Structure 1
Amino acid sequence: MRIILYAFLFVLLGFQKISADTFRCIESERINKRDSLLSIITGAKISDNIISITDFGAIGDGVRNDKPAFDKAMQSAAKQGGAHIIVPPGTFLLKGPIHFVSNVCLELMDGAIIKFDSNPKYYLPLVKTSWEGTFLYNYSPFIYGYNLHDISIIGKGKIDGNASSTFATWKSKQKEGQALSRKMNHEEIPIELRRFGNGFWLRPQLIQFYNCKNITLSDVFITNSPFWCIHLLKSENVICCSLRYDAKLVNNDGIDPECSRNILIENIEFNNGDDNIAIKSGRDNDGWASTMPSENIIIRNCRFKGLHAVVLGSEMSSGVQNIFVENCTYGGYCKRGIYIKTNPDRGGFIKNLYVKNCRFDEVEDLFYVTSMYAGEGLNNIHYTDVKNIYVDSLFCRKVRKAGLVLQGTSQKPMSDVIFSNVEIQEVDNAVSFDNTLNVEMRSCHIGGRVGVPSQASSADKLFVK
């Protein structure tokens, strides 16, 4: 009996030692991966050729259409090999989009407002874009760049989509166009034939850079977007820093990297009517064909406020990997903290998510991973591989529903998940794990910490017979 006991203790202590060593290796790997990424994310180079938008006839009185001046400035920049375009204080009304060219920095000085006229006719002709993970032609995003390099928007000014009276009212009308876009996706209709726009009610993004590299977006204030605020589509080497939001119209996601890589998102003040950050990589057939995952994304020192803080999915069929969420906190209410969502329509993978030192106040759900999002695709076979999730030092004062949720499928269980130093002071449903493998919890306090046990008292004797 003693030999058996010693053997059991040896195995138990051996497991703890291996686990501790493994955890230290994961932490070292996280730091090395992150620091390696930081060394290659540079953002845009900014031209020394400084010009003013007023040199091209812009007035900035909020009444006259200043779009022709912005078009001329971009044309001039293209001829000169690039420019740093200054927008001085004033309200610059644009009846139509800004289409960037390479090597352009648009600087909005403090007090400068770019305000878009939201009449849909101004955002035609159609441009090549993507809508909810499906590639197609649609209305032009209000600020748009395609196949460009070294582009930036900086400064303390404001970008106002002014979309509340038109585009923001379209969601109730979009179902037919949305269904058609997904049908074309699943039937692999050539993208050139997927032409939407007038009559289909698919809202354009406020800012979209598509197939671009070397991008910097910093400091500007963003409000009243027609749809997603910043959409980084098939782009790389991006810095988003110190942006500020008050964007509460319908589906006003803050930043949506899609099939994009090598991105730093830091020091952002979110205040959005939808997801703060939603990392995507294409829907279903289009995502599988893309073979370009969203990867190597660092999110740090952000203040979250809105629907969900950080989301992976649900359009993620090309995969999502190497995501770092560090030293973030809350600026107000969030429905969910970290939310990973996929279903058997999607396929693809989600792996190597590192969450370190993040705090929330009150949420509905704190950390929620589901392979059954929206109850869709449950009869399909495109199961997502979800694995290698590491959460260390996650705090929340109050969770109204679920603390830690992992919902895999029997066909593809979620695997290799570690929760370390997770503290939830008040929670209804603490832990709910389904179809999981190799899930470990280390030094976690769910529902409050337990202190020193009480000593026996005379009252306890009443229950002892």
Structure 2
Amino acid sequence: MIFKVLDLMMAPATLTNCSLVLVWKFLEDTTTIKNYEIYQNGKKIKTCNKSKTHFTIEGLLENTTYEFQIIAVTFDGQSVSSEIVKVTTLSSKQVLDVTQSPYFADYTGKTDSTLAIQQAIDDCPISGVVLIPEKATLLSGALELKSDMTFEINGILKGSLNPEDYIITSDREKYMGYSNEDGLILSRYEGWELYCYRSLINAGWLDPEDRHKKTCKNIRISGNGRIIGGGNQLGTSMRKIYSDPVKYAKYLSDGRPGRRVRGRLVSFIQCENVHITGVSIENSPSWTIHMIYCDTVTTNGISIKSYGVDNGDGWDPDSSRNLMIFDTKFDTSDDCIAIKSGKNPEGNDIGIPTENVWIFDLEMLGGNGVAIGSEMSGGVENILIENCLIKNTNYGLDIKAHNDRGGYIRNVRLCDCSIDGINIHSVDYNIDGHKAPTLPIFENIYLTNCFILNSEMSVKISGFNDGFRQSAIKNVVLDHVIITGKNENLVTIEMKNAEDIKLTNVKLQDGSRPRIINEASTTRNLHLDWES
């Protein structure tokens, strides 16, 4: 995804018979913008605050062509127009209400409805809709979505607390090669491909013979309802069964047995053209939304709640590409967003990067913030984070890897954000794989027009050194950055083993300069331009 000035587009995978989502790229100088005007077929339909660069168009007619345009209006009365985007809506399709005949799922949630819901999914025609209606609560184990369908949840989908409801117990031939004798499915967790419990909602499967093949396409999860998982209670039950640290060594995670066997709440594996919108997604047994070897996933208008969940990440793209998340609120007990690409040595060998990720117009008000790494051995590049509030988190933006990882993280841009802090560094955990032949490479990281909210975190840049080799963090630029917080007199920007670092107009809220700590003078080519 390469964006031009005021580049308007329809967000991938968001087109339906009656709606779509428009997104557009900020102008380079956002301070001149007063607002954005949205036009449909030449008529203005909405004026948006300049902080919002997305809009959902609803109430459209099926099989109808529309033209859309965005105009940016500046404070001095001038305007800049996008090109016109022409879109034709889809046809209406059959809706299968799982609480009605012939499925009769228990809308009270007192009895298990897995079979009824799965039968509706299996029966769903191409581009059809499987519906959980408002006021219905459905109890379910693992569900398997298929290509060319919408799962619309306007009530509550509640996950079973029984681990046996998340294994393959029938139709084994369908999953031959992708499941084991225990009924676990081939997945990936903390950088390793291994057999795990199924998630509550699953789509696609992992094909180790061809990880680039797409095993499920054109999927939409939508609605105004809730997806509620089994949380720690379910996750703990899953772990107990695989808690023998010798027999199940691969499921160890930092000394905790069985941790990697847990299912997620929503899992997409080798999927393409996915849209997640509207729903509240809560209380996963581990990570909440996990995308493995996927291409083109759009997530918007949702909330992710996993506070108190062990390892309760929010949105985890893993060796996936062309991803977009916006208009989303996080309340997590771990990383809100964690961008990954596998772990040494397996991640190096598979070599599928996560690339082209656009994160914008969202709020993180707890948890760890945005993490890139530490499982990044397949590489991570082209990450754009815009117009986000990342406040009261533990780290803000945390770009990290272990010395053993190899791989790279490059071309990361953070623009027009308020964020707790920036930490670019090595870590000493999650190290149960053989070393990569090279140290990680971190380069081309840009922070522009941002506020750093926590002066005690501020900025830390520390490269890699395993005692024999060094890999400096290269080309980090901070341009027009203001550091705020309670202890501004103690603010420091710390650097170690870094190269080509440029600070332009970086200052504290009172206009004074932060103190630079260049540990042991290991930072080379440090450029300071305080007044530009």
TM value normalised by structure 1: 0.79
**Contact 1:168/1:227 (<8 A) preserved:** no
1 CA distance for matches of 2:251 and 2:327? 35
Query: Which residue of structure 1 lines up, in the alignment, with residue 399 of structure 2?
Result: 340
Query: Which residue of structure 2 lines up, in the alignment, with residue 449 of structure 1?
Result: 511
Task: Determine whether 1:43 maps to 2:19.
Answer: no
Distance 1:446 1:383, change over 3 A: farther
Give how far 1:224 is off.
1.0
- Show the 5 A alignment for 1:42-441: 42-43=12-13, 48-55=93-100, 56-77=103-124, 80-109=125-154, 112-124=155-167, 125-146=183-204, 147-168=215-236, 176=245, 180-181=249-250, 202-248=261-307, 249-330=309-390, 333-360=392-419, 363=420, 366-374=421-429, 381-400=437-456, 402-409=457-464, 411-426=470-485, 427=488, 428-441=490-503
Give how far 1:337 is off.
0.9
- What secondary structure, in the 3-state scheme, does the structure 2 residue paired with 1:115 have? strand
- What secondary structure, in the 3-state scheme, does the structure 2 residue paired with 1:271 have? strand
- Residue by residue over 1:309-358, the C-alpha shift from the partner in whole angstroms, topping out at 9 and shown as x without a partner, is 2110001100000000000014x521111100102211100000010011
**How many residues are matched?**
398
Distance 1:268 1:178, change over 3 A: farther
Give how far 1:419 is off.
0.3
**Contact 1:280/1:316 (<8 A) preserved:** yes
1 CA distance for matches of 2:138 and 2:455? 44
Coordinate RMSD, CA, aligned: 2.9
2 CA distance for matches of 1:243 and 1:90? 19
List runs of 5+ in structure 1 lacking aligned partners. Answer: 1-28, 184-197, 452-465
* 2:357 alignment partner AA: I
**Contact 2:481/2:506 (<8 A) preserved:** yes
- What secondary structure, in the 3-state scheme, does the structure 1 residue paired with 2:416 have? strand
- What secondary structure, in the 3-state scheme, does the structure 1 residue paired with 2:164 have? helix
Query: Which residue of structure 1 lines up, in the alignment, with residue 207 of structure 2?
Result: none
**Contact 1:423/1:448 (<8 A) preserved:** no
Distance 1:446 1:282, change over 3 A: same
Task: Tell me: higher relative CO, structure 1 or 2? Use CA pairs within 8 A at least 6 residues apart.
Answer: 1
Give how far 1:86 is off.
1.6
- What secondary structure, in the 3-state scheme, does the structure 1 residue paired with 2:475 have? strand
Give how far 1:408 is off.
0.6
Give how far 1:375 is off.
9.3
- What secondary structure, in the 3-state scheme, does the structure 1 residue paired with 2:198 have? coil
- What secondary structure, in the 3-state scheme, does the structure 2 residue paired with 1:289 have? helix
- Residue by residue over 1:227-272, the C-alpha shift from the partner in whole angstroms, topping out at 9 and shown as x without a partner, is 0000011101110001112211111111000000001100101111
Distance 1:368 1:199, change over 3 A: closer
Give how far 1:306 is off.
2.3
**Contact 1:430/1:447 (<8 A) preserved:** no
Give how far 1:431 is off.
0.7
Give how far 1:33 is off.
10
Query: Which residue of structure 2 lines up, in the alignment, with residue 18 of structure 1?
Result: none
Distance 1:210 1:177, change over 3 A: farther
Distance 1:199 1:323, change over 3 A: closer
407-416 vs 211-220, greater mean Cα deviation: 407-416
2 CA distance for matches of 1:278 and 1:379? 22
TM value normalised by structure 2: 0.69
Distance 1:91 1:122, change over 3 A: same
**Contact 1:149/1:213 (<8 A) preserved:** yes
**Contact 2:329/2:362 (<8 A) preserved:** yes
Q: Relative to total residues, which structure has the larger helix share, 1 or 2?
A: 1
Give how far 1:169 is off.
6.9
**Contact 2:190/2:260 (<8 A) preserved:** no
2 CA distance for matches of 1:444 and 1:178? 53
Give how far 1:48 is off.
2.1
- Residue by residue over 1:3-26, the C-alpha shift from the partner in whole angstroms, topping out at 9 and shown as x without a partner, is xxxxxxxxxxxxxxxxxxxxxxxx
Structure with greater Cα Rg: 1
2 CA distance for matches of 1:181 and 1:237? 30
**Contact 1:430/1:446 (<8 A) preserved:** no
Distance 1:295 1:200, change over 3 A: closer
2 CA distance for matches of 1:246 and 1:137? 26
**Contact 2:462/2:473 (<8 A) preserved:** yes
- What secondary structure, in the 3-state scheme, does the structure 2 residue paired with 1:284 have? coil
2 CA distance for matches of 1:67 and 1:89? 18
2 CA distance for matches of 1:322 and 1:201? 28
42-51 vs 230-239, greater mean Cα deviation: 42-51
Identity %: 27
Query: Which residue of structure 2 lines up, in the alignment, with residue 458 of structure 1?
Result: none
Distance 1:230 1:93, change over 3 A: same
**Contact 2:251/2:261 (<8 A) preserved:** no
- Residue by residue over 1:188-230, the C-alpha shift from the partner in whole angstroms, topping out at 9 and shown as x without a partner, is xxxxxxxxxx977721111000000000001110111100000
- Residue by residue over 1:378-406, the C-alpha shift from the partner in whole angstroms, topping out at 9 and shown as x without a partner, is 98753111001111022133333x31111
Distance 1:351 1:207, change over 3 A: same
Distance 1:274 1:201, change over 3 A: closer
